[in-house]
Amino acid sequence: MMNLLLLSAVINNPLTVIPTPTHVSMGTGSFELNAKTVVVADGLTEVVAKQLRAYLQPATGFELKSKRTAKSNRIAFFTTHDPQLGLEGYRLKVDHEGVGIWANSASGHFYAVQTLRQLLPVEVFGARRTKQPWTIPAVEIVDKPRFLWRGLMLDVGRHFFPKKEVLKFIDALAMHKMNHLHLHLTEDQGWRIEIKKYPKLTSIGSMRKETMAGHYSDHRHDGTPHGGFYTQKDIREMVAYAEKNHITIMPEIEMPGHCQSALAAYPDLGNTGAQLPVRVDWGVNENVYNVDDSTISFLKDVLTEVMALFPSQFIHIGGDEVPKKQWKESPHVQDLMRQRGLKTEEELQSWFIRQMDAFLSSHGRRLVGWDEILEGGLAPSATVMSWRGTKGGIAAAKAGHDVVMAPTTYTYFDFYQSKSIATEPTAIGGFLPLETVYAYDPVPAELNAAQAKHILGAQGQLWSEYIPTTDHLEFMAFPRTCALADAVWRAPGSTNFKGFRDRLTTHLMRLKAMGVNYRNPTIGSQAAVGTWRSGQISEHWTPHVWDLTSSFNKAGNYALTFQYTSGEHRLDIDGIEIEADGVIVATDGHRGRTGGEDVQNVYRVRLAKAYKKVLIRAKVRADGGSDSNGELYVVRER
Ligand code: ACM
């Protein structure tokens, strides 16, 4: 009896659909799609029927016919008015006669199609014809998303990603039922959108002289110009393509900081009159817009062209990381503050954002900003994107403002995916593994039910300082985007990482068939080989020894990573030496640190042969105290 029950649990749960459908009820038998299968659609569902045929054609080779009715061997779309399905939900039923799909909206039909693709053999995601029995298991699925905002942010400012690559990315988002693509279009290091009234924004602002090489703490540059921008025609094409995939592209035009590319093009927009270059270094930048009426007008002109291109109700104006130094030091800005009755630079920033809020609202749009827009008073209609943890989001929701959750700890996909960073491509720092993304619940426990309604959803962040290519972008995005898609779609309380991991094995084959790169989640999960704990490390430079004989166990090149995990104090490292059988046989003397940000925290040494006993001696200190915890990881390299 026990075995039968176990067996039925397995049989009852064979689907590998990501994100997890809200309700699945397995039937018996299956339906086999063939060249004679017809797609049943009417005026309202013709578009999605055509998309389905286009999805199925390359791998199956079937040129499916569309019809108004068919009793059997059919995939039929129906429009219903079923309140339990909401705006984006669907019901999908597969039996031996075929597939029925019911939804209240085109989005619901589209998401049913995404599920249907995942019920077919993974080969259906490929671009080339393959011979398969195209079998779909009998099942009834009733499914709808938990959140309205299921998004991803792509920073095309730090590195430019051409239109074609963005379209490919949209395909991958759509497959995960994600519905917002936030394009971070302007940055210190590049202006990426054609604005007809201000052509220098792109003729000058879209190109930088060179790019940082390695980690920014290395202070190296590659000497190679980098640039690119989207013409307005490109933007229209991307917006239309996204719309077909039920994705809204939300543009971000950064202000009043992160704008050096605009200042390079039009120095009058700045505070110092200096002719600045498009910035080549990463990080927060003190060059910000001035607060003249003419600068406000310039930004309204830019937003006017942006609104004409993007139907998105939400328009993002940035607002993060604005050093107030130039405003403090400028007598002219101080004069304007007095004239406007503003006491602090924070109030001035708030004034700035309010100008944009009123302007966007008067055009029927809604302003979105990073959580710094709370400082100095939130603009009346603003929606907050909470990135420095959840505090900003909680405060905004309590004040009755809508919120999109984007906290670094759960959604910054520019963070490392492994603690053993020696084998990872250089990233900004941090550690955000798949499990953590998967487990994310965007609604903070601090909110009551009414406040929680203001949490529109969540999005992942792909800041691209360290992401120069599409291959690398996909490596950082997947499978963490699969996990986030699950977190923002699945019913609350249905969290099951092990189940997700099992389904992911099949799901990754779909990505592979689509030609989408991803990080193999089975690598880099090796155990730590050593630790340091709170109280063990002095705040003064002291040698600390670990016995790593079992890891440094043969001849070869090794990379040793110091990885801070918790505590008040980071770990500083002033070189390591390897003592093998009582003799110093190798050293790596460079200065590094881990915690807060990780800087050169990987040490490389070579062993000429195997030894009986291998000790690592590192000169370390915990910065400002001894509350530091962390782990050591070792990989043997080629
Ligand atoms: C941000 O990461 N500066 C929003």
Whole-number percent of the chain with pLDDT over 70: 97
How would you write 459-516 as a 3-class SS string? EEEECCCCCCCHHHHHHHHCCHHHHHHHHHHCCCCCCCHHHHHHHHHHHHHHHHHHCC
Q: 354, 319 in Cβ contact below 8 A?
A: no
Ligand 1, from 187, 370, 466: best to mutate by most atoms within 8 Å of Cβ?
370
Confidence category of residue 3, pLDDT binned at 50, 70, 90: very low
Closest ligand 1 atom to Cα of 258: 3
Closest ligand 1 atom to Cα of 463: 2
| Cβ-based neighbour number of residue 638 at 10 Å | 4
C-alpha 432, offset from chain centre: 11
Give the tokens for residue 209: 């002289």
pLDDT at 526: 67
pLDDT digits (tens, 9 = 90+) for 599-634: 888 899 999 999 999 999 999 999 888 999 999 988
387 CA to middle of ligand 1, Å?
A: 7
Question: Residue range 410-414: average pLDDT?
Answer: 98
Q: Look at residue 9 and tell me whether its pLDDT is greater than 70.
A: no
pTM of the model: 0.88
Closest ligand 1 atom to Cα of 385: 4
Question: Residue range 429-450: average pLDDT?
Answer: 96
Question: Residue range 316-326: average pLDDT?
Answer: 98
Place of tokens 């200190």: 621
pLDDT at 523: 67
Confidence category of residue 158, pLDDT binned at 50, 70, 90: very high
Ligand 1, from 320, 322, 373: best to mutate by most atoms within 8 Å of Cβ?
320
Q: Look at residue 217 and tell me whether its pLDDT is greater than 90.
A: no
Q: Look at residue 283 and tell me whether its pLDDT is greater than 90.
A: yes
pLDDT digits (tens, 9 = 90+) for 441-451: 999 999 999 99
pLDDT digits (tens, 9 = 90+) for 48-80: 999 999 999 999 999 999 999 999 999 999 999
Q: Look at residue 8 and tell me whether its pLDDT is greater than 70.
A: no
pLDDT at 252: 98
pLDDT digits (tens, 9 = 90+) for 179-197: 999 999 999 999 999 999 9
468 three-state secondary structure: coil
Average pLDDT of the chain?
Answer: 94
Closest ligand 1 atom to Cα of 406: 4
Beta-carbon contacts of 200 under 8 Å, excluding residues fewer than 6 positions away, are 265, 266
> 136-140, 351-355, 625-629 — which is least confidently predicted?
625-629
Q: What's the CA gap between 252 and 186, in Å, rounded? A: 7
For ligand 1, which residues put their CB under 6 angstroms from it? 320-321, 370, 387
Ligand 1, from 154, 252, 321: best to mutate by most atoms within 8 Å of Cβ?
321
Half-sphere exposure of 59 (CA within 13 A, CB side): 19
Confidence category of residue 524, pLDDT binned at 50, 70, 90: low
414 CA to middle of ligand 1, Å?
A: 11
pLDDT at 401: 97
The closest residue, in CA terms, to atom 3 on ligand 1 is 320
Q: Which residues pair with 140 in a beta bridge?
A: 25, 93
Which residue, 395, 396, 407, 481, is CA-closest to 442? 407
The closest residue, in CA terms, to atom 1 on ligand 1 is 320
Q: Look at residue 312 and tell me whether its pLDDT is greater than 70.
A: yes
Both ends of the chain: CA-CA distance in Å? 53
Backbone torsions φ then ψ of 318, nearest 5 degrees: 75, -115
pLDDT at 185: 98
- From residue 536, how far is each of 533, 540, 625, 628 by CA, in Å? 6, 12, 11, 8
Whole-number percent of the chain with pLDDT over 90: 89
Q: What's the CA gap between 373 and 321, in Å, rounded? A: 10
pLDDT at 525: 58
Question: Residue range 525-545: average pLDDT?
Answer: 89
10 CA to middle of ligand 1, Å?
A: 43
pLDDT at 13: 53
